Amino acid sequence: MKKILLMVFAICLCLSGFSQIKLEITPTKPIGGIKKESSSYTTQDFVNEQSDFFLGHDTKRDTHGRGYLQFDLRSIPLKANITSVSLKLRTVSYGESNYGGTIILKQCGAIQKAGEFEWITLDGPGPILARQNVSTSGQSISLSGPLLKSAVESEKGRSLYLSLLNEVPSKIIRYSGGIINLYLEVIYTEGDGSSGGSTGSSFKILEAPLNQYSGDELTLGYAGTSAYTVKKWEYDPNEFSEIRRTSWTITLVPKTKKWSQRVTVKMTAEYKDLYIIKHRQIAEWSFPVYGRPYIVPSSYCECEGGTVRYNIENISGAIGNGRTVWMSNSPNMTLISSNDMSATYRVSGNQACSVSARVEQSSDKGHRTFDIDNNQVWVGKPNVDITGPSRLNYNSTHTFYVSNLAGGTQYSWRLIGNGVFTNGTNRISTTVPQVEVRTGSDPEPGTGSLFKIYCDITNKCGTSSGTRQFMFVMGGLRSASTIISDVTDNKYENTTYSIRIYDISGKMVYTNSKVTGELDLRSTSLYDGIYIIEKYDGKNVTRDKVMLKR
């Protein structure tokens, strides 16, 4: 006999602490029914995923058919509370003119071969467990009823044998034998987790937490070791951060949520015997994640001597009197007043403010303590700190930023160097703390490679300025033998000029404002490497890229 292939799909839906599991159990193979032609009997077999079976009269071959399905119920825990059972199948057709009828489902004995006794067994005297009218091909059929549910309950831990008949024997009904179209669906709630059957069939899946808040760890998977091997975990990375995995579990932290939101985690696991999959479980947890309380300031920018009111929001329960403790983490803040839901501070100086609170919350979800903070308020004029790429490429677009913490409302940018803003000029005003620059072509030696960008930020308290110098990625370099002659041109003879030398990052590493005649770089304390040399004679500025190598 061929190897038995049983696939079990378990979907665990945990809704606010109510755990429910759906098993999709595919039938044991190979026999899927019996065909009768005159007085000869043969089996209808599961050959592959394209197998199909028929009930009733096949007029083209003058053959009659009855269906047979065997399900291994050992994957259902013995103390499971079954809530519903249904047999799922999908009809198919070869264009028969007598297609249709009514499928009836009965419980029968085990069938191991095709014969007259087995044929009669499939239409025994037992009650009809379920019935469904069929009129066309391609229908998704669900056979269910209290008698089918009772049959499954009585056979937990064993095998269930079912027969399928066409109540109108002169007609024909065909259905697919593919595992995605033909299975027994059993939905139940867990008892104590004990199971019948072999080790490979037993499992206990962890329930989702009753009260899950964003930022708190949760672990899903199997409770203890399992004969199953977890093959895949699926979750939205926008909703979770993964902490760790074991052979049977995963630990996640839901990301910050402003409000409660339902999330889903799915696990696919398999149990194999001699490299053949005998069971497959797909467990899916669906549960709400509640947002944590958070602090919102009345203003994100305040001037010297002003006040800021901090409010606690996203509270889903009651806070008792005196259950909130406010703490200032910045020396430029003085507490004026506070209660369980808000606090008002007077601010000073020119820096960011940081405040925290410990909130004790009581609700229908229980009692929780939250430690929350806020550092989004800026006091005084803006602090200008321009950031951008460490190196600039020629003929490229680069983005530069300043911090938006300072509550800026206007950003005035200008640049000096080989590039323009998106408006095609070297000046631009924006209302957002970033700007794009398009750099030009690689200049010839002596035309300059340094790049400076300036930004003036205005907020409600005034305007501040900042600048930063950047360096282009180097193109061609002059050889060491020409360094001295390049640095000291004949036009500088008997003329005093100034020299500034920058390293590859744009940092000035040498300056001399009174150079006369030649300057031998090898006489300086500079390390060997690549430098930008800027010369100024009071009227003209020239810049060269050179390599110093002793």
- Model confidence over 313-325: pLDDT tens digits? 887 654 554 578 8
Distance CA 223, CA 246 (A): 12
Tell whether the model's pLDDT for residue 305 goes beyond 70: yes
State both tokens at 403.
Answer: 């911090």
Residue 365 lies in a domain: yes
pLDDT level of residue 483 (50, 70, 90 thresholds): very low
Query: Both 367 and 442 in a single domain?
Result: no
* Claim to verify: residue 362 and residue 424 sit in the same structural domain: no
Same domain (yes/no): 182, 224: no
Asked whether residue 68 falls in the same domain as residue 169, the answer is yes
Whether residues 165 and 252 share a domain: the answer is no
Phi/psi of residue 131, each to 5°? -150, 155
Within a 10 A sphere around the Cβ of 13, how many other Cβ atoms? 17
Question: Cβ distance 104 to 92 under 8 Å?
Answer: no
Number of domains in the chain: 5
Evaluate whether 30 touches 44 at the Cβ level (below 8 Å): no
Cα Rg, the chain, nearest whole Å: 39
Note whether 465 and 530 are same-domain residues.
no
Residue 45, pLDDT > 80, answer yes
| In a domain? residue 16 | no
CATH number, residue 220: 2.60.40.10
Question: What was the pLDDT predicted at 488?
Answer: 41
Q: Do 338 and 264 share a structural domain? A: no
Which residue did the predictor score with more confidence, 268 or 351?
Answer: 351
The answer to whether the bond into 30 is cis (omega within 30° of 0) is yes
Instruction: Please provide the average confidence, as pLDDT, over all residues in the chain.
Output: 81
| Exposed/middle/buried for residue 424 (C-beta within 10 Å: 0-12, 13-18, 19+) | exposed
- Could you tell me if 184 and 62 lie in one domain? yes
DSSP character string of 97-109? TTB-EEEEEEE--
Confidence of residue 198 (pLDDT cuts 50, 70, 90): very low
Q: What is the pLDDT of residues 137-173, one digit of tens each?
A: 899 999 999 999 999 999 998 999 999 999 999 999 9
> How do residues 396-419 score in pLDDT, each as one tens digit?
899 999 987 788 999 999 998 888
Residue 196 lies inside a defined structural domain of this protein: no
Q: Are residues 72 and 166 in the same domain?
A: yes
Mean pLDDT of 114-137: 94
The parent domain of residue 511 ranges over 480-548
Burial of 544 per CB tally in 10 Å (0-12, 13-18, 19+): buried
pLDDT the model gives residue 461: 94
Residue 389 lies in a domain: no
Q: Indicate the pLDDT class of residue 10, thresholds 50, 70 and 90.
A: very low
Whether 134 and 102 share a structural domain: yes
Q: How confident is the model at residue 454 (pLDDT cuts 50, 70, 90)?
A: very high
What is the average per-residue pLDDT within 24-51?
86
Using the structure block, give the residue that is written with the tokens 């519903």: 84
pLDDT digits (tens, 9 = 90+) for 212-265: 888 889 999 887 776 678 889 999 999 999 999 998 899 999 987 667 788 888
Between the ranges 187-191, 205-209, 236-240, 269-273, where is the mean pLDDT highest? 236-240
Q: CB-based contacts of 238: which residues, under 8 Å, 6+ apart?
A: 255
Q: What is the pLDDT of residue 14?
A: 37
Region 461-465: mean pLDDT is 93
pLDDT-based confidence at residue 134 (cuts at 50, 70, 90): very high
**C-alpha pair distances (Å), 113 with each of 32, 52, 110, 118, 119:** 11, 18, 10, 7, 10
**Average pLDDT score over residue span 294-302:** 93
Beta strands in 339-487 (DSSP E): 342-347, 352-363, 366-379, 397-401, 410-416, 419-421, 427-430, 434-439, 450-459, 462-471
User: Which of 70, 37, 68 is CA-nearest to residue 55?
Assistant: 68
Q: Which of 90, 93, 72, 98 shows the shortest CA–CA distance to 143?
A: 90
407 neighbors 376 (Cβ within 8 angstroms): no
Which range among 110-119, 279-288, 495-504 has the greatest average pLDDT?
110-119
Which position has the higher pLDDT, 454 or 206? 454
| Domain-embedded: residue 388 | no
Rounded Cα distance, 531 and 449, in Å: 11
Helix H or strand E segment including 531: strand 529-536
Asked if pLDDT for residue 4 goes beyond 50, the answer is: no
Determine the Cα–Cα distance for residues 304 and 348; give it in Å rounded to an integer: 5
Within this chain, do residues 65 and 149 fall inside the same structural domain, yes or no?
yes
Predicted confidence (pLDDT) per residue in 464-482, tens digit? 999 887 766 555 444 433 3
Q: How far, CA to CA in Å, does 395 sit from each of 178, 392, 458?
A: 59, 9, 31
CA 116, 118, 121, 123 torsion-angle sign: negative
- What pLDDT, on the 0 to 100 scale, is given for residue 213? 86
pLDDT at 460 over 50: yes
Beta bridge partners of 66: 34
Per DSSP (E only), the strands in 225-351 are 229-235, 240-245, 249-254, 261-273, 276-290, 294-297, 301-302, 307-313, 324-328, 333-338, 342-347
- Among 471, 489, 507, residue at a domain's last position: 471
pLDDT of residue 18: 43
pLDDT greater than 70 at residue 131 = yes
β-pair partners for 542: 535
CB 532 within 8 A of CB 450: yes
pLDDT band at 498 (very low <50, low <70, confident <90, very high): confident
| pLDDT at site 486 | 37
What pTM does this model have? 0.52
